[in-house]
């Protein structure tokens, strides 16, 4: 039986890190992508540009976040993916603001919680990389085994910038790029 995809709505948000496309259906937010990122707008089918209530909540959440504050607002999320991806994305949501975890730590957690009998960091990385709801489902908080920055669909400069923002520093574009270089060399 084929899954019926619900009609989705889209809206736009201008962030200090570039334009963002938001997508939602009546169940909740289904996507948040930086313009031009890898997998941009993946999974969108029939959509209509309309300001629905969830977008107002998400935009307020993003306003707080980009002001360097940890948002304490519940945003309804609607994960669209495989059961495995949904498990990984659920774990991403539990990573505390300003902290990072490794792909291996997520794999170990999946096993320890009985969600999988065995798991590789590579499989986790595949699911993390397919996260459609950037920032709110904080895939930018996942790092390599030595704490080094690894791939991010939105770009390494944005990943570094988001982590810096959560550590209390509001970076400009040049600082974002410099932070990405420091993380990739293991200096942060």
Q: Which one from 93, 116, 118, 139 is the annotated catalytic residue?
A: 139
Beta carbons of 166 and 65 less than 8 angstroms apart:
no
DSSP letters for 69-89 = --------B---S-HHHHHHH
Dist. CA 137–CA 93, nearest whole Å: 5
Look at residues 26, 138, 43 and name the one whose alpha carbon lies nearest to residue 81. 43
How far is Cα 151 from Cα 143, in angstroms, rounded to an integer?
8
Has 139 been annotated as catalytic?
yes
Strand partners, 133: 32
DSSP 8-state class, residue 8: E
Active site (catalytic) residues = 139
């Amino acid at each position: 039986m084929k899954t019926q995809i619900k009609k989705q709505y889209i809206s736009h948000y201008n962030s200090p890190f570039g334009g963002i496309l938001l997508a939602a259906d009546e169940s909740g937010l289904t996507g948040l992508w930086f313009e031009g990122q890898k997998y941009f707008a993946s999974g969108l089918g029939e959509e209509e540009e309309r300001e629905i209530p969830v977008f107002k909540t998400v935009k307020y959440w993003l306003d707080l976040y980009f002001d360097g504050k940890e948002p304490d607002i519940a945003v309804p999320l609607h994960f669209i993916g495989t059961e495995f991806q949904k498990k990984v994305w659920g774990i991403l949501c539990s990573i505390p603001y300003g902290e990072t975890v490794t792909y291996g730590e997520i794999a170990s957690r999946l096993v320890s919680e009985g969600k999988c009998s065995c798991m590789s960091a590579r499989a986790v990385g595949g699911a993390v990389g397919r996260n459609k709801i950037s920032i709110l489902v904080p895939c930018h908080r996942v790092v390599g085994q030595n704490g080094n920055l690894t791939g991010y669909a939105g770009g390494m400069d944005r990943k570094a910038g988001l982590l810096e923002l959560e550590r209390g520093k509001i970076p400009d574009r040049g600082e974002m790029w410099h932070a990405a270089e420091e993380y990739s060399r293991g200096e942060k």
